[in-house]
Amino acid sequence: MAKTPDGKNTSGRGQRDLTVKVKTARGRTSSSTRWLQRQLNDPYVKRAQIEGYRGRAAFKIMELDDKFRFLVPGARVLDLGCAPGGWCQVAVPRVNALGDKQGKAVGRIVGVDLQEVEPIMGCEIHQLDFMSDDADQQVKAWLGGKADVVMSDMAASSSGHKQTDHLRIIALCEAAAYLAFDVLEVGGTFVSKVLAGGAEGELQKLLKQRFEKVANVKPPASRADSSEKFVVATGFRG
């Protein structure tokens, strides 16, 4: 067993996972200090860095797919608001976008965002406002047909007012749902982030009219103190 000069072992066995504390620096607000401390001590942030994902959000879609199994080999996937790309990264091996799994169907992934996103092998990324009039036709052209999965981890810019932010993200989710109605294959799946806050009832009603099953899930990777949850709608009726 390796030991330090003072004789203590460095195997990690029996050692505590020490919490990193951040001192408030001049020019840094207390809220930004709390955010930084949370990031430094977040196990999902550490895992993302080790495993090469572009953010901790990758584990949210990973956990959702482990439960509902919508990212299957051969699937056509549309990722709305895909920056920084973590969800696309997770989807690539699961839909066999690179064709690594011999004998399995090869999937296709298209990510769209208002901002430029660094390329991801196995994923086609475009700058696009998905609310534009011809977005559905453009997406289907890129995918080579209708999508099997439309997924979104989008969040509207924070205003600092909880109810306003809730209404904004619900409106964004509804817009994503309407695009999904236009591009999804019958039997397809819609996955989107929402914020709990009371206004999501109409969205739930809308989705239940168009999908066989609608589930509301808070995956383990979603922070306990966050009001976010994810809606997973399966079995698109067309």
CATH number reported for the structural domain that contains residue 96 in this entry: 3.40.50.150
pLDDT at 152: 96
Provide the pairing of β-strand 184-195 with 147-152. Answer: parallel
pLDDT tens per residue, range 174-211:
999 999 999 999 999 999 998 776 557 888 999 999 99
Is the domain of 222 the same as that of 172? yes
Is the domain of 93 the same as that of 23? no
Count: domains in the chain: 2
- Residue 197's domain comprises 55-236
Is the domain of 164 the same as that of 213? yes
Is the domain of 189 the same as that of 156? yes
Q: Looking at residues 84-91, what average pLDDT do you find? A: 97
pLDDT at 75: 98
Q: Which of 3, 21, 60, 193 is catalytic?
A: 193
Q: Looking at residues 78-84, what average pLDDT do you find? A: 96
Rounded Cα gap, residues 107 and 95, in angstroms: 5
Residue written as token pair 């011809």: 134
Query: E strand or H helix at 233, and its extent?
Result: strand 228-236
pLDDT band for position 101 (50/70/90)? Answer: very high
Q: Is 218 a catalytic residue?
A: no
Residue 99 near residue 132, CB atoms below 8 Å: no
Lowest mean pLDDT among 24-38, 141-155, 166-180, 192-206: 24-38
Is the domain of 112 the same as that of 62? yes
Edge-first strand order for the sheet with 211-217 is: 124-127, 108-113, 76-80, 147-152, 184-195, 228-236, 211-217
pLDDT band for position 3 (50/70/90)? Answer: very low
Answer whether residue 46 is part of any domain. Answer: no
Is the domain of 73 the same as that of 103? yes
Is the domain of 26 the same as that of 82? no
- Three-point CA angle 78, 80, 82, nearest 5°: 100
Residue 12 has pLDDT above 60, yes or no: no
Lowest mean pLDDT among 25-29, 90-94, 159-163: 25-29
At a CB cut-off of 8 Å and minimum separation 6, what does 53 contact? 47, 59, 86, 89, 90
Answer whether residue 48 is part of any domain. Answer: no
pLDDT band for position 170 (50/70/90)? Answer: confident
Is the domain of 6 the same as that of 78? no
Answer whether residue 218 is part of any domain. Answer: yes
Answer whether residue 47 is part of any domain. Answer: no
Phi, psi dihedral angles at 60 (to 5 degrees) = -70, -50
Residue written as token pair 């995918």: 143
Rounded Cα gap, residues 44 and 48, in angstroms: 6
What rounded mean pLDDT belongs to the chain?
A: 84
Q: Which two tokens stand for residue 42?
A: 């977040």
